[in-house]
């Protein structure tokens, strides 16, 4: 068995020197305008090269020319159209004689066609030939021998009444007769036969008529292609149509390669090129529709991507009954994804086969020559049955007959895992320099399949391309020649050559740097015309390459690219009639025939040239004959070329989920500038989030609007290459000015050239993946570099770079939302937009793990595509949580590797392991205590998109970045064979501590056990081995033994659930910076106080046994003291007044605390004091005025009844919550003063009453209304609905706070968050209410519980949405709620109990319904027990609507409903909040805005009302999740 990359005709009885497929013999007098013409066209369309004598009309009574005789002799098949006047024509009689002669001497195929006559009349000379046949009989041996011979050949009878169908039958018949082309298999097909039999047996193993897909799988060089070719030759005649697509991997990578493969497949099956494929997606649709109508045999050779299979053989349903498809690949996983029926696993050759194949190549015989048996066996053992290795090594040793040389060669072959590359390198190194260049030319210039003679003639002026060199390459097995001397090269050999060439190349990529290739013939085209045309094109900014004199070779390649790659061809017929070109007639035809005789081209080459000339004639071009103004003609050509459309779109994504909306946002920013100044836009986000995808899509969308454009891909990567900076500058200049004549020698000269050149054009430039400021300086220095109206986009992971460049806008990439994530994942995992049945929950788990990162969704989805067992999915997910996917990891790790400072890398790893979710200030202090420059480091990590800091100053990190950090530590420990520097898994902690026999270099340890697990016990003695520990985080862990073994270097101690009553005296804590002992069992912090000079943060919250505070005199540098929810704490040590640096004191919910020590009021550094929930504190001293730094005072839910005068006098307090007053001081203080002056005399509001006393509406119409609130509190328990209109945003905030305080539902933090939302939000919804007749709910004990709320009217759309929601609500549904379904409904969701949005405008629709749903893991009926009120807050109109749970069960009257509608308009900012009792924690809220149907299809409302309800309705739907 052997491998070969070439294909050719072999074992064929047809004359190999033929230059035409068909010679068409006909009488022009009665067929030229009908059958012959149509038949010629049909044959040509089917890809058959036909010779048709166009001059016969003028010469039908004369002798035929030598060119016609030559054409007959050079044709593989002749069609004779017998018509009534055929024998009368002298030309026809001579053609018939020559045709029948060729049939006898060269086995030419003859197909007679009887036109409007009975075939039986031919032999008897009746009807068809008449009297004229007598002359013909006498000319041919006087015995009717010729006529008899013709009549014995199977032919066709054509009748004018059904001519088109008859022509189709003739074309099909001729196509089948001509198709006797077997593929070249191998010179020495050792072992091929048995393997082909196995293949055919598998192909025939299916009894049903369904299509069968067979994969041939094995490593490179094992002979997959060889076996596939042999099988194809064996059985392709048994099918209606067939196609062998070689080297799919290689063709795929070429420009427009995908479409060319699709087009080739379609042409092979239907024998036509008239069905054009323009795009990959249209190609899929065409193939899917066309292939299924025939029983075909298809081979896809060397497939390496799933996209290739999707584009060429999408699924079994693409093919007709009985079809067979073979796919050769090195990737077994691809076959699984396509769900092939069988996989034939290629086996290595056994020792006998190996020895025979090697001997054929090494000795030209099937066994070794005498004396070389053992050495040959050594080669066979080394090659391990790999055919390519046997072939290459054998060919290399063919001319070497000294054993010493053989042994030396074998000694060099020492890498068994890379045999082929090593062998090829050895052979290549032994070649001379000229022959090396010849080899590299063949490998890199796609010369496989070309004739050796043609190549030698083309490269005749090239000193290194010689016949001797070719022979050397053949002898060495690097190149092979088939029976027709066509060059072949194995794909692995070709890849080897290209890699060598790539290593040597440092310049720009060759592809696509020219706009125009100018092909001409130097000896007959006026130099003046070509020179002027070239100059005119260059002056127009068109980059031109002038061809050489090999016009025939250029033309063939040009037209080939036109067919396969969409190249635009513009023919210029200079002083020649276009018909002469197409028909090869006149002077042009004579020169063409002379060329054929001079070059002795083969059938394949001649057919290609004829085809190319015919296609040129059919292409729109410019004719210049007898021109009086050639300069005008040149101008027209240039204008035509300039106006040709640019069709080169960048590939975006196979499944562009979420791309359109983001591209619209980007384009909106690009168009956001009214002036003509250039605009620079940054696209910023973490790796893998889709920055390049969005940039490509935006580039494709608007690049046509600019004079010039350039997309510089992978700037970071190219920058690192040799001379990469200059190559990027050169590429940019070439893209904009379409020339490489302006040479850039250095970076600095490049800056000057670009700065001068770019400003003269309106350009669109994209710089992709920028990571250094030097890149920006070299490629787009500043705004002044660019012309008016230019737009520049920069994608980067580094926000700081954009600031330095002073970009106009920054588009911050967001992760995909849940719906987008699920859809993208489903496309890759299931090949459909939603999960398959049974995999919904698992898919949701993957989506949650991926965190909205597109690359993770894509990679993990593709990996799971062929895995359909739930157990396997669960196993994959568990592994991913421990060890991230390599492909995702490498993408994310680029940002980490780009950190030049090791200190910043250490900070990133520390955050990934320990500090996610913590306050930035606290983390900074802890890290600085370890010697890190944390302030700068964290800032840099934020700029690099590796870390986030939210508005609450909490540090965040994407889960996958966190996992990447853990994996970096794990891999590094393996590389250096040491323990990990940070430990986070119990298994690792246990293994490292129990097995260690020496001191370990561990920086941090975090061990958080699940609450479901029993307490974990560990020995303190084990910690003696990690005496450099700086970070210790424990939860659910108890240490037993002496605490002296714990590290003295600990800076951060976080131990939730600390089990002891006191901190042990022997525990050395002198270097502690932060202590977090929440939920501890401490009664006293330190039984014996220790001086902790470095301690800055102390958090003992939820320590229910804590009775006293520590002695603060031992904590001189404490900055934050947090003692929330310590109910047994009865007093605060008076020496708290010694804390000169304290910034925060939080004593919230310390219900046993009766008073604050007077010394606390002397703390001038305190900025925040929180005593809310300290119910026994009844007084704040006037001394509070001494706290000159106090900014936030929160003392609600205490027994304090009067605000001290000192609070109002304070110049520092900015926010206050005290005695029912809450908000910013500037807004609250006037109300406090008003309460002192007239505590019972509020501003009287205008009160309107609906439906008795169940509904109130308050409108405050006074300018100074904020100094008082309506006293509705006493009526609130009796009200079911409350509407309140505020005069200002400040009053809205206070009113809302007062309502919530009255309901006893919101903590200080939650209220603050809600107020911030109301004050700063730019996006909220319009709201109005109308109630459904019931509030459905579903629940199960100790399981997820859901609640559904609807406000508004029912209609067809609301019923559809409700049904959809109920199906997906727990406990029976997946929990994945429906998303937007514009224009019927729009969905808004957020974590917690509140959703804020802007009311959209939907043309032709009005808001009909609002729906809401609630999830809860709490047992019981959350509707009756938990739900208190629904609030709809219009932040634009400053209105509040309150609906109690009972009100949601009642319906509105007409007047109330009209109030809802009039209060809600598009553009309003609305907040919808669901308020529950304290035991319910809202997890997630979803709101649906449901719109009515267009007027012509509106459904009758389902709800009944006392009045006519307006169609301009509004409906809400909410979904709330509670834990």
Which residues, at least 6 apart from 1196, have a Cβ–Cβ distance to it below 8 Å?
1172, 1173, 1217, 1218, 1219, 1220, 1222, 1301, 1308
Inter-CA distances, 846 with 851, 858, 1379, Å: 9, 11, 19
Q: Is 1070 designated active site?
A: no
- DSSP-H helix ranges across 476-585: 491-504, 527-539, 551-565, 578-583
Residue 438 CB neighbour total at 10 angstroms: 26
Distance, in Å, from the CA atom of 1486 to the CA atom of 650, rounded to the nearest integer, reads 38
Residue 628 CB neighbour total at 10 angstroms: 6
Residues 562/519, Cβ–Cβ less than 8 Å: no
Question: What tokens appear for 826 in the block?
Answer: 């489903």
Question: What tokens appear for 328 in the block?
Answer: 């050769």
Give buried/exposed letters for 216-253 (b at 16+ CB in 10 A, else e). bbbeebbbbbbbbbbbbbebbeebebbbbbbbbbbbbe
Distance, in Å, from the CA atom of 438 to the CA atom of 432, rounded to the nearest integer, reads 10
Which residues, at least 6 apart from 343, have a Cβ–Cβ distance to it below 8 Å?
214, 215, 216, 217, 332, 335
Burial of 1289 (0-12, 13-18, 19+ CB in 10 A): middle
Question: What tokens appear for 781 in the block?
Answer: 């220095």
Which residues, at least 6 apart from 329, have a Cβ–Cβ distance to it below 8 Å?
215, 216, 217, 224, 302, 303, 304, 335
Which residues, at least 6 apart from 905, have a Cβ–Cβ distance to it below 8 Å?
896, 899
User: Among residues 834, 892, 887, 893, which one has the least CA distance to residue 863?
Assistant: 887
Dihedral angle at the C-alpha atoms of 484, 487, 489, 495, nearest 10 degrees? -160
Residue 1249 CB neighbour total at 10 angstroms: 10
User: Among residues 66, 35, 67, which one has the least CA distance to residue 51?
Assistant: 67
Question: What tokens appear for 1163 in the block?
Answer: 């703390």
Which residues, at least 6 apart from 533, have a Cβ–Cβ distance to it below 8 Å?
518, 572, 634, 637, 638
Q: What is the DSSP string of 400-428?
A: ---HHHHHHHHHH---GGGHHHHHHHHHH
Identified catalytic residue from 250, 538, 554, 1222:
554
CA 232, 234, 237, 239 dihedral sign is negative
Distance, in Å, from the CA atom of 866 to the CA atom of 829, rounded to the nearest integer, reads 8
Query: From the centroid of its chain, how far is CA 517?
Result: 34
Residues 866/897, Cβ–Cβ less than 8 Å: no
Residues 938/920, Cβ–Cβ less than 8 Å: yes
1377: left (phi over 0), alpha (psi -120 to 50) or beta: beta
Q: What is the DSSP letter of 651?
A: P
Greatest alpha-carbon span in the chain: 141
Query: From the centroid of its chain, how far is CA 1400?
Result: 30
Tell me which long-range contacts 1224-1229 makes (C-beta under 8 A, separation of at least 24): 1224/1290, 1227/1266, 1227/1290, 1227/1293, 1227/1294, 1228/1294
Query: Active-site residues: which are they?
Result: 554
């Amino acid at each position: 068995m052997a491998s070969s990359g070439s294909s050719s005709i072999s074992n064929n009885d047809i004359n190999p020197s033929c230059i035409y497929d068909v010679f068409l013999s006909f009488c022009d007098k009665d067929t030229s305008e009908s059958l012959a013409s149509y038949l010629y066209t049909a044959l040509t369309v089917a890809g058959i090269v036909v010779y048709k004598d166009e001059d016969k009309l003028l010469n039908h009574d004369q002798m035929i020319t030598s060119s016609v005789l030559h054409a007959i002799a050079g044709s593989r098949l002749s069609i004779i159209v017998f018509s009534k006047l055929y024998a009368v024509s002298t030309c026809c009689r001579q053609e018939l004689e020559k045709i029948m002669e060729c049939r006898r001497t060269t086995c030419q195929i003859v197909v007679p066609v009887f036109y409007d006559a009975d075939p039986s009349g031919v032999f008897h000379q009746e009807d068809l030939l008449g009297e004229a046949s007598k002359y013909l009989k006498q000319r041919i041996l006087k015995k009717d021998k010729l006529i008899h011979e013709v009549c014995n050949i199977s032919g066709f009878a054509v009748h004018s009444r059904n001519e088109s169908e008859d022509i189709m039958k003739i074309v099909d018949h001729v196509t089948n007769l001509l198709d006797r082309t077997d593929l070249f298999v191998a010179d020495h097909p050792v072992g091929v036969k048995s393997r082909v039999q196995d293949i055919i047996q598998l192909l025939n193993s299916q009894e049903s008529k369904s299509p069968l897909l067979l994969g041939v799988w094995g490593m490179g060089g094992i002979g997959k292609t060889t076996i596939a070719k042999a099988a194809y030759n064996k059985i392709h005649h048994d099918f209606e149509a067939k196609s062998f697509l070689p080297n799919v991997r290689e063709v795929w990578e070429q420009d427009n390669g995908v479409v060319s493969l699709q087009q080739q497949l379609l042409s092979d099956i239907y024998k036509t090129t008239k069905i054009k494929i323009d795009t990959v997606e249209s190609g899929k649709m065409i193939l899917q529709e066309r292939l299924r109508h025939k029983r075909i045999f298809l081979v896809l050779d060397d497939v390496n991507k799933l996209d290739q299979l999707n584009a060429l053989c999408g699924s079994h349903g693409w093919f007709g009954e009985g079809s067979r498809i073979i796919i050769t690949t090195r990737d077994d996983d691809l076959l699984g994804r396509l769900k092939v029926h069988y996989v034939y696993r290629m086996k290595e050759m056994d020792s006998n086969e190996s020895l025979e194949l090697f001997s054929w190549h090494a000795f030209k015989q099937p066994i070794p020559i005498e004396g070389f048996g053992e050495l040959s066996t050594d080669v066979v053992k080394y090659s391990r049955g790999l055919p390519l290795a046997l072939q290459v090594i054998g060919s290399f040793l063919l001319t070497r007959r000294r054993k010493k040389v053989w042994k030396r060669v074998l000694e060099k072959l020492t890498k068994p895992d890379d045999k082929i590359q090593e062998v090829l390198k050895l052979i290549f190194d032994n070649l001379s320099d000229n022959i090396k260049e010849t080899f590299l030319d063949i490998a890199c210039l796609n010369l496989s399949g070309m004739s050796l003679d043609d190549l030698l003639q083309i490269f005749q002026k090239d000193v290194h391309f010689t016949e001797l060199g070719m022979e050397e390459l053949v002898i060495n097995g690097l190149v092979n020649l088939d029976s027709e001397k066509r060059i072949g090269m194995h794909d692995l050999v070709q890849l080897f050559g290209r890699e060598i060439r790539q290593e040597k190349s440092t310049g720009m990529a060759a592809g696509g740097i020219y706009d125009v290739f100018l092909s001409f013939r130097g000896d007959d085209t006026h130099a003046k015309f070509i020179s002027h045309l070239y100059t005119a094109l260059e002056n127009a900014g068109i980059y031109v390459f002038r061809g050489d004199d090999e016009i025939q070779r250029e033309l063939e390649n040009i037209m080939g690219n036109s067919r396969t790659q969409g190249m635009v061809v513009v023919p210029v017929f200079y002083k020649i009639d276009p018909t002469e070109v197409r028909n090869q007639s006149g002077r042009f035809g004579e020169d063409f025939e002379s060329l054929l005789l001079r070059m002795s081209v083969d059938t394949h080459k001649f057919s290609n040239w004829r085809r190319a000339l015919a296609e040129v004639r059919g292409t729109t071009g410019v004719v210049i004959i007898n021109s009086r103004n050639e300069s005008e003609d040149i101008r027209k050509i240039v204008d035509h070329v300039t106006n040709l459309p640019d069709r080169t779109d960048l590939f975006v994504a196979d499944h562009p989920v979420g791309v359109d909306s983001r591209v619209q946002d980007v384009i909106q920013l690009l168009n956001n500038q009214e002036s003509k100044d250039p605009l620079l836009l940054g696209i910023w986000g973490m790796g893998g989030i889709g920055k390049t995808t969005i940039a490509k899509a935006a580039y494709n969308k608007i690049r046509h609007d600019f004079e010039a454009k350039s997309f510089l891909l992978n700037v970071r990567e190219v920058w690192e290459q040799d001379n990469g900076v200059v190559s990027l500058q050169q590429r940019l200049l070439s893209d904009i000015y379409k020339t490489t004549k302006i040479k850039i020698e250095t970076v600095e000269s490049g800056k000057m050239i670009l700065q001068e050149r770019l400003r003269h054009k309106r350009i669109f430039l994209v710089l992709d993946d920028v990571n250094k400021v030097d890149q920006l300086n070299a490629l787009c220095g500043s705004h002044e570099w660019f012309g008016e109206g230019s737009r520049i986009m920069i994608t980067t992971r580094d926000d700081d770079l954009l600031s330095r460049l002073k970009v106009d806008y920054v588009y911050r990439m967001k992760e995909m939302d849940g719906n987008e994530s699920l859809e993208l994942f489903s496309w890759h995992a299931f090949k459909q937009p939603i999960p398959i049945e049974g995999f919904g929950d698992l898919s949701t788990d993957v989506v949650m793990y991926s965190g909205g990162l597109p690359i993770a969704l894509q990679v993990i989805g593709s990996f799971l595509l062929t895995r359909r067992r739930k157990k396997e999915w669960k196993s994959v997910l568990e592994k991913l949580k421990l060890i991230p996917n390599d492909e995702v990891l490498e993408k994310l790790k680029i940002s980490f590797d780009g950190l030049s400072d090791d200190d910043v890398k250490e900070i990133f790893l520390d955050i990934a392991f320990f500090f996610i979710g913590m306050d930035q200030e606290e983390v900074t202090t802890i890290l600085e205590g370890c010697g890190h420059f944390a302030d700068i480091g964290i800032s840099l990590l934020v700029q690099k998109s590796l870390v986030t800091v939210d508005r609450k100053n909490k540090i965040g990190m994407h889960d996958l970045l966190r996992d990447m950090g853990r994996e970096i530590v794990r891999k590094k420990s393996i590389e250096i064979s040491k323990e990990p520097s940070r430990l986070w898994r119990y298994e690792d902690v246990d293994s490292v501590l129990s097995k260690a026999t020496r001191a370990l270099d561990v920086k941090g340890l975090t061990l958080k056990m699940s609450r479901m697990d029993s307490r974990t016990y560990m020995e303190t003695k084990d910690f003696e081995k990690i005496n450099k520990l700086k970070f210790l985080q424990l939860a659910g862990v108890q240490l037993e033994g002496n605490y002296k073994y714990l590290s003295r270097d600990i800076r951060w101690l976080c131990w939730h659930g600390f089990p002891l009553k006191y901190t042990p005296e022997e525990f050395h804590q002198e270097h502690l910076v932060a202590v977090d002992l929440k939920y501890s069992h401490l009664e006293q912090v330190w039984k014996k106080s220790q001086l902790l000079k470095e301690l800055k943060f102390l958090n003992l919250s939820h320590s229910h046994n804590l009775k006293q505070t520590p002695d603060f005199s031992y904590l001189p540098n404490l900055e934050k003291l947090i003692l929330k929810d310590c109910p047994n704490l009865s007093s605060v040590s008076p020496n708290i007044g010694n804390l000169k640096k304290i910034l925060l004191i939080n004593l919230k919910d310390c219900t046993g605390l009766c008073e604050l020590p007077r010394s606390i009021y002397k703390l001038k550094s305190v900025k925040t004091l929180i005593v809310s929930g300290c119910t026994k504190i009844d007084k704040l001293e006037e001394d509070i005025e001494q706290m000159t730094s106090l900014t936030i005072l929160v003392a609600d839910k205490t027994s304090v009844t009067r605000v001290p005068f000192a609070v109002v006098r304070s110049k520092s307090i900015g926010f206050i919550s005290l005695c029912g007053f809450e908000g910013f001081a500037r807004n609250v203080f006037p109300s406090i003063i008003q309460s002192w002056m007239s505590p019972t005399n509020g501003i009287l509001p205008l009160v309107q009453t609906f439906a008795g006393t169940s509904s109130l509406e308050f409108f405050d119409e006074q300018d100074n209304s904020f100094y008082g609130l309506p006293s509705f509190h006493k009526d609130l328990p009796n009200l079911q609905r409350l509407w309140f209109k505020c005069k200002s945003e400040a009053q809205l905030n206070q009113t809302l706070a007062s309502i919530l305080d009255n309901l006893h539902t919101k903590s200080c933090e939650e209220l603050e968050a809600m107020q911030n939302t109301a004050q700063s939000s730019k996006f909220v919804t319009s709201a109005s209410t109308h109630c459904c007749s019931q509030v459905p709910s579903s629940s199960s004990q100790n399981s997820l519980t859901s609640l559904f709320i609807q406000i508004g009217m029912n209609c067809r759309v609301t019923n559809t949405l409700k049904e959809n929601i109920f199906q997906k609500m727990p406990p029976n549904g997946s929990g994945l709620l429906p998303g937007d379904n514009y224009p019927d409904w729009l969905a808004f969701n957020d974590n917690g109990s509140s959703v804020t949005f802007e009311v959209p405008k939907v043309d032709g629709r009005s808001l009909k319904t609002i729906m809401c749903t609630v999830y809860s893991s709490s047992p019981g009926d959350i509707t009756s027990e938990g739900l208190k009120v629904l609030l709809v807050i219009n932040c634009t109109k400053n209105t509040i609507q309150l609906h109690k749970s009972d009100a949601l069960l009642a319906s509105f009257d007409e007047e109330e409903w009209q109030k809802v509608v009039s209060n809600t308009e598009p553009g309003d900012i609305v907040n919808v909040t669901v308020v529950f009792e304290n035991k319910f924690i809202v997890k997630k809220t979803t709101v649906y805005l449901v719109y009515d149907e267009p007027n012509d299809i509106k459904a009758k409302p389902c709800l009944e009302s006392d009045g006519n309800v307006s169609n301009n309705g509004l409906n809400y739907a909410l979904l709330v999740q509670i834990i």
